[in-house]
Amino acid sequence: MGNRLVAESGEDRDRGGSALSALADARDREPAPERLLEAEDVAGILGMTTDWVYREVRAKRLPHIRLGRYVRFRRESINAWLEACERGATVSAERTAARRP
> pLDDT tens-digit profile of 24-82?
676 667 666 789 999 999 999 999 999 999 999 999 999 999 999 999 999 999 999 99
* Residue 50 vs residues 22, 56, 68, 98: alpha-carbon distances, Å: 43, 10, 19, 37
What is the reported pTM?
A: 0.57
Q: What angle do CA 5, 8, 11 make, to 5 degrees?
A: 150
